[in-house]
Amino acid sequence: MRVILSGYNGTMGQVLKNYIQESTDIEIVAGVGQHALEEVFPTYTSYTDLEKVADVIIDFSHHAGTADLVEYASRTLTKVVVATTGHTPEELVLIDELATKVGVVYAGNYSLGVNVLVELVKKASELLLGYDIEVIEKHHNKKVDAPSGTAKMLVNAVKDTDEYNKVYGRHGDMKRGEKEIGIHAVRGGTIVGEHEVIFAGEDEVIEIKHTALSKKMFAKGSVTAANWLNNTDEPKLYSMKDVLGIE
């Protein structure tokens, strides 16, 4: 399989590059990023002069580059694993449109453990009716978007999530409202990623938590998605549930 690394010169892009080169037989045919670095593969600062060269693009860039990525993928019919978060509604529309032409995997998190966590939250919310729900996520001080894409996945996994009022942090004099989900983002140091969902009921608390110890797991998950997508022909927007075969 031939891949283009989108955002190859970012922190996660370099982790992905090293993982592919050390642990797989995948061929990196190009890198696209904000700044050109000396690599063993050709690098570009835009998709303008890049023709069809790869089977799959793995995107760990910034959501602001979505339009250029979609234009290239649409023009060359190159499949895409979108591992970038923080997209605007307009950018999500572009990704949806791309998925009518080629296969696209879109996920807020590519960790196997996190995707299992999402399923656990879904089941817990079905069983723990009436419990207060809080979502807490922690990341390093360089992360731009808040709340994280994974936190959004967890909120969306809650049964009847549209019926809840989402409260992003709290301050001042205010009691907790009915049908409310509290969502809190912590930024500091070099925290790779922590996500915790609290179900607080009368006289008991259930906590479901995932801790990332290394960014390598995100690289591994995105490569798993790319391999799966490369063997899938139907143009469609897929999730990690499709990749992992989760019903």
Is 85 annotated among the ligand-binding residues? Answer: yes
Is 195 annotated among the ligand-binding residues? Answer: no
Three-state secondary-structure class, residue 189 = coil
Is 113 annotated among the ligand-binding residues? Answer: no
Q: Where does the chain have alpha helices with state H?
A: 11-23, 66-76, 89-98, 112-127, 149-157, 216-230, 240-244
Is 188 annotated among the ligand-binding residues? Answer: no
Is 107 annotated among the ligand-binding residues? Answer: yes
| C-beta separation of 88 from 63 below 8 A | yes
Buried residues in 144-176 as b, exposed as e (16+ CB within 10 A): ebbbbbbbbbbbebbeeeeebeeeeeeeeeeee
- The catalytic site residues sit at 139, 143
Instruction: Report the distance separating Cα 190 and Cα 153, nearest Å.
Output: 22
Is 12 annotated among the ligand-binding residues? Answer: yes
Is 62 annotated among the ligand-binding residues? Answer: no
DSSP state, 199?
E
Is 193 annotated among the ligand-binding residues? Answer: no
User: Which residues are annotated as part of the binding site?
Assistant: 7-12, 38, 83-85, 107-110, 140, 149-150
User: Which residues are annotated as part of the binding site for (S)-2,3,4,5-tetrahydrodipicolinate?
Assistant: 140, 149-150
User: Which residues are annotated as part of the binding site for NAD(+)?
Assistant: 7-12, 38, 83-85, 107-110
